Amino acid sequence: MRKTRLLLSLLALLCLAPRVWGQGAAEEGFNLIVVGDPQPQTKAQLRSLEQEIIPQIGAIVEQYRAQSDLPTAILLTGDVVWDTTKFLPRVKSAFESLGVPVYAVIGNHDHARKRNRPEERAERPYVETFGERNQAFVMGKTIFITFDNIIYNPDKTYYEGVDARQLVWLSERMRQVPEDMRVAVCMHAPATRLWRGEVRSYALPIVDIVGDRELHFITGHAHRHFTATLSPTLIEHSVAQVSGNLWFAPICSDGTPRGVFCIEERNGQWRWHHRMLGKEADERLVVWREGEAYGCEDYVVVKVVGWDDRWRVEWSENGVEMGAMEQVEMKDPDYMYYVDNEANYRKLFMDRLRRSASKRNHYYRLQRTSENSEITITATDRFGRTYTVQL
């Protein structure tokens, strides 16, 4: 049954491809709002998603509409829900209320987790809501592939991978994609190991099939932000959880504030940024003055939201250029303050909040040479955009 369903899906998608691609090729760009792991588990979390988070994403949609006529869409990176598959239609409807196309990938928590349930039955609520797990759509000069990389076992466990039928499906797609078209493979679990600078073994065939085209992986699951640049044409974007840390903290454990990942294509080129909810697009720096950041009490500390290794962070004091700020690894001061002073959950969740915190390297510090001097911090991203704060 599953093989038949997959073959029918393949035929339908291949028949539709010329029409869909023709429409996409006529566009000059797009805006994609990537939402990491919405994952409501309770009715209270679902209401918070609907009443607090989605309206703030709606404000970003409206800003894009005001800026240009380019199409805008939303991509959910999986774990659309947290084992509460009955919420799937309501979550989809809530995002669709923003009036833009909504795409999704299936996450491990989007399976109906009942003992001894085979994978096809476990996936059924997701498929009934969002359609087939492997789809393709085109915006601008990019073809997006939504790919299922969660292989579910009946004992409620899973592992990350793709099967041979998916690779055949992808190969058929790539035969029809021009060599100069960018490919974005959207999956739930990461495709790379950032700390090793390598592609995970299961994703290597995907890289081979895509070939020499520019390839971006867009993933969630890790609940943290990172951009892994493995080569000029191979990048992974790991999108942090939109709600913070599992709804238990209003900030992710790596220090990424509640927000979304915005990808914009202009004149065939991509640019991107992490957009904090409730903030303007140019608000990218979070600053702690002396005495506010634990372990760095003698320093001014700045966090670069949406950081990658192409950023430069410099400072000046009383108008004198002081050069690059010192990059440091540390636990996020706001996250740790929340855990130590505001979080009040049962021990199981408190222990989880504390364990999840680890040192990250998107922090910089400086030490004034004179008390009460005027400080200017300027950060420049890989696209040459600058962000400035003054103290």
- Across residues 11-34, what is the average pLDDT? 55
- Across residues 350-372, what is the average pLDDT? 93
Amino acid symbol at 262: C
Output 26 or 122, whichever has higher pLDDT: 122
Q: What pLDDT is stored for residue 11 in this prediction?
A: 39
Phi, psi for residue 177 in degrees, rounded to 5: -100, 125
- CA 217 to CA 197: how far, in whole Å? 14
pLDDT at 14 over 80: no
Q: Which of 41-55, 144-158, 214-228, 269-283 comes out lowest in average pLDDT?
A: 144-158
- Across residues 44-63, what is the average pLDDT? 98
Nearest to 224 by CA among 203, 240, 207, 202: 240
pLDDT tens-digit map of 253-303: 999 999 999 999 999 999 999 999 999 999 999 999 999 998 899 999 999
Output 352 or 125, whichever has higher pLDDT: 125
Contact 131, 148 (CB under 8 A): no
Instruction: Give the three-class secondary structure for 317.
Output: strand
The tokens of 258 are what?
Answer: 């509640």
- CA 240 to CA 373: how far, in whole Å? 36
CA-based end-to-end distance of the chain: 64
pLDDT at 351 over 80: yes
Q: What pLDDT is stored for residue 366 in this prediction?
A: 98
Count Cβ atoms below 10 Å from residue 373 Cβ, excluding itself. 13
Q: What pLDDT is stored for residue 157 in this prediction?
A: 87
Q: Which domains, from first to last, does the chain contain?
A: 2-276 (3.60.21.10), 285-390 (no CATH)
